[in-house]
Amino acid sequence: MRILRFSGLVAVVLAWVVIYVSTYRNPWFDVFRHALSDLGGPRAADPWIYNVGLVATGVVTSTYSLYLAAASREKASIYASAFIFIAGVFLSLIGIFPSGTRPHTFVSTWFFVQMWMALVASAVDFLLRKKLIPGLTTLALLITGPLGAVLIDWPSVALLEIYGVVIIDIYVIILTLNY
């Protein structure tokens, strides 16, 4: 189980590799005009790269949550790991229901919602265990994530999504360092 400790970091790297390779294969893609999901949509060259990549990243994310649950002692951290597991499922569903399909908007939105709920549970867990630095950092992410999403006039959905992914990446790093 200890080897799974770093599977969250593997998911972070894998997500960025998928985004990079998909962007490289689609020179028409403009991060200032499109959504990341366009890389897996009908207009994309080799949309399977993005879609299969998201499914794989979702599986690794859910696997990471199993490590977190096994390493957890408190209910709040187990609760957070459950949200991360569900977020991994929804990340995979984004690849299964790519841009242009009916459930796409729901599954892509719900991925971010599930990760935000995991942040809530982790912030509570860290603070209850008096782990102030990770607790306050997670709390800051919990607050700045939605505020930045709402208050910044994002020129594209892709930039908003990248902002969300960076928040999630920082969260995964915090979790990896503290479990």
% of the chain residues with pLDDT over 70:
100
Interatomic CA distance for residues 139 and 123, integer angstroms: 5
Interatomic CA distance for residues 176 and 62, integer angstroms: 14
Please give the mean pLDDT across all residues of the chain. Answer: 96
Residue range 81-111, pLDDT digits in tens: 999 999 999 999 999 999 999 999 999 999 9
Residue 118 has pLDDT above 90, yes or no: yes
Residue 125 has pLDDT above 80, yes or no: yes
Number of structural domains, the chain?
Answer: 1
The answer to pTM > 0.85 is yes
Interatomic CA distance for residues 133 and 122, integer angstroms: 12
| DSSP alpha helix (H) spans, the chain | 7-25, 47-71, 75-96, 104-128, 132-151, 157-178
Domain region containing 95:
2-178
Residue range 143-156, pLDDT digits in tens: 999 999 999 999 99
Q: What is the structure's pLDDT at 92?
A: 98
Q: What is the structure's pLDDT at 162?
A: 97
Residue 11 has pLDDT above 80, yes or no: yes
Residue 1 has pLDDT above 80, yes or no: no
Residue 179 has pLDDT above 90, yes or no: no
Q: Tell me which of 156 and 2 has the higher pLDDT.
A: 156
